[in-house]
Amino acid sequence: MPRAIISPSVLASDFGQLTAECKRMIKGGAEWLHMDVMDGHFVPNITMGAPVLACVSKGVPGIFMDCHMMVAQPEKWVNDIADAGGSLYCFHLEATSDPLALIDAIHDRKMKAGVAISPDTPSTAITDEVGEAADMLLVMTVYPGRGGQKFLDRCVPKVAELRARFPDKDIEVDGGVGPKTIDVCAHAGSNVIVAGTAIFNDPHPENVIQTLKDTVNQ
Ligand code: DX5
Ligand code: ZN
C-alpha cells in the first residue's frame, strides 16, 4: 500500500489567517493541505474558490493543494484551479457525465486527478477504466457539505473494495476522520487521510498528525 499522506482540511481553520494556518500544519508534519471548494449547488454551502487558493499558493511556496471540488460543474473550474496553483483536482463522480474526459483535462493542466464518491454511491460506480486513469480515489465518510460530522462506518467497506481493485493508487478518506476512527480506515487500505476538526481543534495538531501517520504506516 502507498505510504501515508496527511491532508488537514482547512475548512476547520481560522480563514482569517489561512496562510499562517497552512504553514502551521506543514510545520506539524502535514504533507498536503485539503482545500474544500463548495459552490452552493452541488452542496448547500459556499466556501472558497480559485482567488483564495491563489493567495494560499503565493503565501505558502511549495504547498501541495489537494482541492476537493464539491461543485456542480467540475469541468468549469479546471483552468482556474490550475492557474491558482492547485496540485490535485478531485471532482465528484456524481457531478459529471464524462469522468474520463475530465481526468484528461486535469492532466493536461499538469494536476493530479482525483475521483470522489459520496456515501450513497457504490464503489462499483468507479469503473476499472476511470480508476486506472485517476491518481487518487476519495471515499467520503460523511455527506459532503460541512465539517465536524459523525464518521459513517458503513462507507469503510468501499475503501477495502477499491484497495483490492487498485492496489497502487492513493485512496483518501474524508469526513469525521481522527484518532478515534483512523484504525478502520487504515485497515481497509486508505493512505491519504483528511482530518479537519480532529486536527485543528486539538492543542497539539502535530501529535494528531503523527498518530494518523503512524497508524497508516504500521
Ligand atoms: C466535508 C468536507 C470535509 C470536511 C472534513 O464536506 O469535504 O473535508 O472539512 O472535516 P472533519 O474532519 O471535521 O469531518
Ligand atoms: Zn473534503
- Torsion, Cα of 144, 53, 138, 122 (10° steps): 40
- Helix, strand or coil, per DSSP, at residue 170: strand
User: What's the pLDDT tens digit per position in 146-168?
Assistant: 999 999 999 999 999 999 999 99
pLDDT at 1: 85
Give yes or no for residue 29 having a pLDDT over 90: yes
Nearest to 114 by CA among 98, 97, 99: 99
ipTM rounded to 2 decimals: 0.99
Residue 145 annotated in ligand binding:
yes
> The pTM is what?
0.98
- Residue 174: CB within 6 Å of ligand 1? yes
Superfamily of domain 5-217: Aldolase class I (3.20.20.70)
Residues 42-73: tens digit of each pLDDT = 999 999 999 999 999 999 999 999 999 999 99
124 in a labelled binding site: no
Residues with CB under 5 A from ligand 2 (ion): 36, 68, 174
Type of residue at 154: R
Confidence of residue 173 (pLDDT cuts 50, 70, 90): very high
Query: How far apart are the CA of 4 and the centre of ligand 1, in A?
Result: 18
> Are 22 and 33 spatial neighbours (Cβ–Cβ below 8 Å)?
yes
Q: What is the pLDDT of residues 96-131, one digit of tens each?
A: 999 999 999 999 999 999 999 999 999 999 999 999
CB 217 within 8 A of CB 188: no
- Of all helices (H) and strands (E), which one includes residue 214? helix 205-217
Nearest to 115 by CA among 139, 87, 146: 139
User: Residue 198: its pLDDT value, please?
Assistant: 98
Ligand 1 near 92 CB (within 6 A)? no
- Which of the residues are catalytic? 36, 174
> For residue 88, what pLDDT band results from cuts at 50, 70 and 90?
very high
Q: In the predicted model, what is the mean pLDDT of the chain?
A: 98
Instruction: Spell out the domain ranges in the chain.
Output: 5-217
- Confirm or deny that 16 is annotated as ligand binding: no
State in Å: Cα 113 to ligand 2 middle.
15
